[in-house]
Amino acid sequence: MEVCKCSQLSAEEIDKIRYEMPAQLEIDGLAEFFKVFGDPGRLKIIYYLSKTELCVADLARLVQMAQPAVSQQLKILRLTRFVNFRKEGKTVYYSLHDEHVSELYQIALHHIREL
């Protein structure tokens, strides 16, 4: 692989940086992670769950989405371990898995607000 003439870096430096690169699998994992936050509907769900535990029906009313749509998104949030759920009779209550979510929320808000 040839080095372009504009490069400030030597082939050795290039190799070193590339060697320290997180594994492709981990990169893909990160991308999947962020992709989950890249949808307004899911973000709203996450926001409401950060306030209180909620059943699917209430969640659907709050985010103003159809119940099946909410269930689909909750499934994604379950698979990515962002939410826990607890069954009580017919109803299922969802809650946030941990506090990382709120952290991310705050940092991202900070970024977009400072232009």
Q: Which residues, numbered 39-58, are part of the site for a second copy (CB under 8 A)?
A: 39-40, 43-44, 47-48, 51-55, 57-58
Residue 84's binding partner out of DNA, a second copy, none, with CB under 5 to 8 Å set by partner kind: none
Tell me which residue of 47, 50, 49, 69 sits closest to 60, measured CA to CA: 69
Segment (H or E) for 105: helix 100-113
In this structure, are strands 83-88 and 91-96 parallel, antiparallel, or unpaired?
antiparallel
Token pair recorded at residue 52: 């209180």
Q: Which region among 11-19, 22-30, 73-81, 106-114 touches DNA (by CB under 7 A)?
A: 73-81
Q: Does 12 bind a second copy (CB under 8 A)?
A: no
Binding mask 29-68 for DNA (x = CB under 7 A): ------x--xxxxx------------xxx-------xxxx
Residues 56/87, Cβ–Cβ less than 8 Å: no
Determine which residue in the list 50, 91, 95, 106 makes contact with DNA, applying CB under 7 A: 91
